[in-house]
Amino acid sequence: MSKTQKQTLAKTAATGPPGSPATRSPGAGTAGGTGVSRRRLLGTAGAAGATGLVLGAAGGAAGYAATRPEETAALTTVGATEAMFHGKHQPGITTPLQARGHLVAFDLAAGAGRKEAAALLRRWSAVAKELMAGRPAAGGPDGPGHDTGIALDAGPSSLTVTFGFGRTFFARTGLTARLPAALDPLPAFSADALDAGRSNGDLWVQIGADDALVAFHALRALQREVADTARVRWQMNGFNRTPGATARPMTARNLMGQIDGTGNPKPSEEDFDRRVFVPASPGKPQEWMEGGSYAVVRRIRMLLDDWEKLPVDRQERVIGRRKADGAPLSGGTETTEMDLDKAGPDGRLVIPDNAHARISSPEKNGGAAMLRRPFSYHDGIAEDGAPDAGLLFICWQADPFRGFVPVQRKLDRGDALSPFLRHEASGVFAVPGGAAEGEYVGQRLLES
Ligand code: HEM
407 alpha carbon – ligand 1 mean position (Å): 10
123 Cβ inside 6 Å of ligand 1: no
423 Cβ inside 6 Å of ligand 1: no
How open is the CA angle 327-329-334, to the nearest 5 degrees?
Answer: 10
User: CA-to-CA distance for 380 and 376, rounded, in angstroms?
Assistant: 13
User: CA-to-CA distance for 413 and 207, rounded, in angstroms?
Assistant: 33
User: CA-to-CA distance for 99 and 372, rounded, in angstroms?
Assistant: 15
Q: Are 15 and 249 in contact (CB under 8 A)?
A: yes
Residue stretches of the chain with pLDDT short of 50: 1-21, 27-37, 39-71
Q: What is the bridge-based pairing of β-strands 371-372 and 23-24?
A: unpaired
Residue 404 is predicted with a pLDDT of 98
Q: Considering the entire predicted model, what is its pTM?
A: 0.88
Q: Note the pLDDT tens digit of each residue in 90-111.
A: 999 999 999 999 999 999 999 9
Using a 10 angstrom Cβ sphere, with 0-12 exposed, 13-18 middle and 19 or more buried, the burial of residue 57 is: middle
User: CA-to-CA distance for 77 and 1, rounded, in angstroms?
Assistant: 13
User: What ligand 1 atom has the least distance to the C-alpha of 407?
Assistant: 30
Query: Alpha helices of 257-403 — where are they, by DSSP H?
Result: 272-276, 304-307, 312-319, 356-359
93 Cβ inside 6 Å of ligand 1: no
147, 202, 260, 415: the active-site residue: 260
Q: Note the pLDDT tens digit of each residue in 230-277.
A: 999 999 999 999 999 999 999 999 999 999 999 999 999 999 999 999
User: CA-to-CA distance for 317 and 323, rounded, in angstroms?
Assistant: 10
User: What ligand 1 atom has the least distance to the C-alpha of 368?
Assistant: 35
User: CA-to-CA distance for 105 and 91, rounded, in angstroms?
Assistant: 18
42 alpha carbon – ligand 1 mean position (Å): 43
262 Cβ inside 6 Å of ligand 1: yes
290 alpha carbon – ligand 1 mean position (Å): 27
User: What ligand 1 atom has the least distance to the C-alpha of 338?
Assistant: 41
260 is catalytic: yes
360 alpha carbon – ligand 1 mean position (Å): 7
274 alpha carbon – ligand 1 mean position (Å): 20
User: CA-to-CA distance for 7 and 26, rounded, in angstroms?
Assistant: 9
DSSP 8-state symbol, 27: G
Residue nearest to atom 42 of ligand 1 (CA): 360
Residue nearest to atom 28 of ligand 1 (CA): 408
User: What ligand 1 atom has the least distance to the C-alpha of 302?
Assistant: 1
Choosing from 260, 333, 418 the residue with most ligand 1 atoms within 8 A of its CB, the one to mutate for a pocket test is 260
124-156: b (≥16 Cβ within 10 Å) or e: bbbbbbbbbbbbbbbbbeeeeeebeebbeebbb
Domain ranges within the chain, ordered by starting residue: 76-443
* CB hemisphere CA count around 407 (13 angstroms): 23
Using a 10 angstrom Cβ sphere, with 0-12 exposed, 13-18 middle and 19 or more buried, the burial of residue 104 is: buried
Residue 336 is predicted with a pLDDT of 98
What is the three-class DSSP state of 391? strand
How far CA 13 is from CA of 25, 98, 214, 252, 365, in Å, comes to: 10, 11, 19, 11, 32
Amino acid at 143: G
179 alpha carbon – ligand 1 mean position (Å): 29
Residue nearest to atom 38 of ligand 1 (CA): 361
User: CA-to-CA distance for 351 and 151, rounded, in angstroms?
Assistant: 47
User: CA-to-CA distance for 372 and 93, rounded, in angstroms?
Assistant: 9
Choosing from 253, 302, 304, 360 the residue with most ligand 1 atoms within 8 A of its CB, the one to mutate for a pocket test is 360
Q: Note the pLDDT tens digit of each residue in 318-331.
A: 999 999 999 999 99
357 alpha carbon – ligand 1 mean position (Å): 6
User: What ligand 1 atom has the least distance to the C-alpha of 365?
Assistant: 35
User: CA-to-CA distance for 343 and 71, rounded, in angstroms?
Assistant: 62
